[in-house]
Amino acid sequence: MTHDPYVIDEMISAKSIAARIEDLAKTIQTEFKDTDKLVVVGLLRGSFVFIADLVRELDLPVEVDFLEASSYGDGMESSREVRILKDLRGQIEGRDVLVVEDIVDTGHTLHQVIDMLNTRHPRKLKSIALLDKPSRREVDMRADWTGFEIPDEFVVGYGIDYAQRNRNLPFIGKVRFT
């Protein structure tokens, strides 16, 4: 696949992300203070950096599991067709669950994942997204907690990719084609 030449302009610094995750972790700890174990479910692949940093900030007993849902492929636009490519390994019935998403765009992925997980009867099910693009919403869906609200820009970094590139950037950057 050929890639158009592009540059990445920093939108959210690594320092800002770290500070926001610290604040979010405190809120999550309060919400789940009575849990015997919080099942943190990362939506792969974009959330892997966020989930790693978030769970290290949580002073709670934590179990980590992953779901892989896809609606993008290698493109820049959501296909709106959400496919589950990898399901959870563990059971969540009667358990406290936190779904970790990298970005809520149209809302289709998070909506369908939350609906599916609710059929498994967790004790409590909450969601967190690092980024939210409310201007792109097609489904009435918001994460319970959001790191940053951003405009309708194509972003990469901090685990988020463009055609499997740029996940390793320590910041969130806006892609600008040259």
End-to-end CA distance of the chain: 18
Q: Is 105 a catalytic residue?
A: yes
Average pLDDT score over residue span 118-140: 96
Assess if residue 70 is contained within a domain. Answer: yes
Q: Which pLDDT score, from 0 to 100, does residue 140 have?
A: 93
Q: State the total domains in the chain.
A: 1
Structural domain including 103 reads 6-177
Q: Which of 36, 105, 144, 161 is catalytic?
A: 105
CATH number at residue 121: 3.40.50.2020
Average pLDDT score over residue span 95-121: 95
Q: Which pLDDT score, from 0 to 100, does residue 4 have?
A: 73
- Which tens digits make up the pLDDT trace of 35-67? 999 999 999 889 999 999 999 999 999 999 999
Assess if residue 172 is contained within a domain. Answer: yes
Assess if residue 1 is contained within a domain. Answer: no
CA distance 45 to 73: 11
